[in-house]
């Protein structure tokens, strides 16, 4: 998922904070693998040139903080590292192999080292927050670390469900929402709440921004599900091929007429899905209106996310910026 253009303003600050966390690290190959995951090094260990990778979660954190302060930058780096940690593990668990110029860590160095990289990135995120005590109060620091770890645990609960649902055909929309809220929602919610916490906002505002982030993450996941099935450019490893229960698929299995359900089941009862199977699946989803349903559901969920910001006293200008972010993440912009 690309960061909305409006959030590009924060890219430099997040990147600088991430780089600072690695300045004092040794040249142990473990840290080179982490730098590779962050997009700073190529497979050969040489520095990469070109645009800085998107730092969506760090940018969301900075936007929630509302200002570019040292403690907000540190919180943003922690939010980004939490996402990268989860991504390393998820790519390994879903057997996501070579993809363009940046194959997954596990593909290059093996699952055992990928576990070390993912766990190490999470540890660095926690240390970043703990080392920021000179910028935040002890209470803020404790709350930030607790929030980070609680969100990580919730993410892995959601990913457990995601993996479990791959071989099931009876996943309901309510179960999908719970799973996606725990996965993408937890990461977005953590990013927004960490930013609000670092900025010293009242607990009510922190909670409102976390609820907003969780709902926005859910809406973004719904839109990503549609994009995975109908990509604008060919995807190297569409999630649909591993039988992930994307929202249009869940909708069709739950609500489509029996003939379409049977046709969809014929594809999903296969041991392995092929690109040709996906063509047939897409045709069924178009016929049942499941694509249109998922697109509309993503936009409605984004509006519900924005409603979480009502009454917390955010300036209208900042609310408008969040509206633009929500529109970009759900395909309206």
Question: pLDDT tens, 222-238?
Answer: 999 999 999 887 766 67
Query: Could you tell me the pLDDT band of residue 97, with boundaries at 50, 70 and 90?
Result: low
Share of the chain above pLDDT 70, in %: 95
pLDDT at 241 over 60: yes
The pLDDT assigned to 134 comes to 66
Query: Could you tell me the pLDDT band of residue 94, with boundaries at 50, 70 and 90?
Result: confident
The pLDDT assigned to 333 comes to 42
Terminal-to-terminal C-alpha distance of the chain = 14
Q: Which three-class secondary structure string do you get for 206-257?
A: HHHHHHHHHHHHHHHHHHHHHHHHCCCCCCCCCHHHHCCCCHHHHHHHHHCC
Average pLDDT estimate for 252-272: 91
In this predicted model, what pLDDT tens digit does every residue of 292-323 receive, in sequence order? 999 999 999 999 999 999 988 899 999 999 99
CB under 8 Å, gap of 24 or more: what pairs does 105-111 form?
105/33, 105/36, 105/37, 108/36, 108/43, 109/33
CA Rg, the chain, in Å?
20
Average pLDDT estimate for 233-246: 81
Please give the DSSP secondary-structure letter assigned to residue 183.
I
Chain position carrying tokens 């609000």: 196
CA-to-CA distance for 77 and 16, rounded, in angstroms? 9
pLDDT at 100 over 70: no
Helix axis angle for 29-37 and 70-93, nearest 10°, is 90
The pLDDT assigned to 69 comes to 76
The pLDDT assigned to 300 comes to 97
Average pLDDT estimate for 30-39: 96
* Pick from 245, 225, 32: nearest CA to 159: 245
The pLDDT assigned to 163 comes to 94
- Classify 274 as helix, strand or coil: coil
Q: Which token pair is 164?
A: 């479990």
CA-to-CA distance for 249 and 243, rounded, in angstroms? 9
This prediction's pTM: 0.93
The pLDDT assigned to 287 comes to 94
pLDDT at 332 over 60: no
In this predicted model, what pLDDT tens digit does every residue of 107-145 receive, in sequence order? 999 999 999 999 999 999 999 999 876 678 888 899 999
Length of the chain in terms of residues written: 333
Question: What's the angle, vertex CA 83, arms to CA 80 and CA 88, rounded to 5?
Answer: 125
Q: Max CA-CA distance within the chain? A: 63
The pLDDT assigned to 1 comes to 63
Please give the DSSP secondary-structure letter assigned to residue 28.
-
The per-residue DSSP string of 41-94 comes to B-TTSPBP-SSPPP-HHHHHHHHHH-S--HHHHHHHHHHHHHHHHHHHHHHHHT
The pLDDT assigned to 107 comes to 93
Average pLDDT estimate for 36-40: 95
């Amino acid at each position: 998922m690309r960061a909305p253009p409006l959030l590009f303003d924060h890219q430099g600050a997040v990147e600088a904070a991430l780089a600072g966390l690695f300045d004092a690290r040794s040249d142990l190959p473990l840290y080179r693998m982490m730098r590779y995951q962050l997009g700073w090094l190529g497979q050969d260990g040489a520095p990469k040139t070109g645009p800085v990778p998107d730092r969506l979660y760090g940018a969301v954190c900075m936007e929630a903080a509302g200002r570019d302060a040292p403690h907000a930058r540190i919180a943003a780096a922690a939010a980004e590292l939490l996402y990268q940690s989860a991504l390393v593990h998820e790519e390994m668990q879903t057997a996501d192999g070579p993809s363009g110029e940046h194959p997954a860590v596990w593909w290059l160095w093996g699952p055992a080292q990928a576990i070390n990289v993912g766990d190490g990135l999470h540890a660095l995120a926690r240390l970043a927050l703990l080392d920021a005590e000179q910028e935040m109060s002890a209470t803020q620091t404790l709350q930030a670390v607790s929030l980070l770890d609680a969100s990580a645990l919730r993410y892995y609960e959601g990913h457990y469900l995601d993996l479990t649902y791959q071989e099931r055909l009876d996943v309901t929309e309510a179960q999908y929402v719970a799973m996606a809220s725990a996965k993408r929602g937890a990461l977005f919610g953590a990013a927004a709440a960490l930013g609000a916490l670092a900025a010293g906002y009242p607990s009510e505002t922190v909670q409102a921004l976390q609820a907003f982030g969780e709902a926005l993450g859910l809406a973004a996941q719904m839109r990503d599900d549609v994009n995975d099935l109908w990509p604008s450019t060919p995807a190297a490893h569409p999630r649909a091929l591993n039988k992930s229960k994307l929202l249009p698929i869940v909708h069709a299995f739950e609500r489509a007429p029996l003939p379409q359900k049977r046709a969809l089941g014929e594809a999903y009862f296969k041991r392995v899905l092929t690109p040709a199977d996906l063509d047939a699946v897409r045709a069924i989803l178009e016929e049942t209106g499941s694509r249109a349903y998922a697109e509309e559901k993503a936009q409605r969920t984004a509006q519900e996310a924005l409603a979480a910001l009502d009454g917390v006293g955010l300036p209208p200008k900042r609310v408008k910026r969040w509206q633009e972010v929500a529109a970009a993440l759900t395909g309206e912009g």
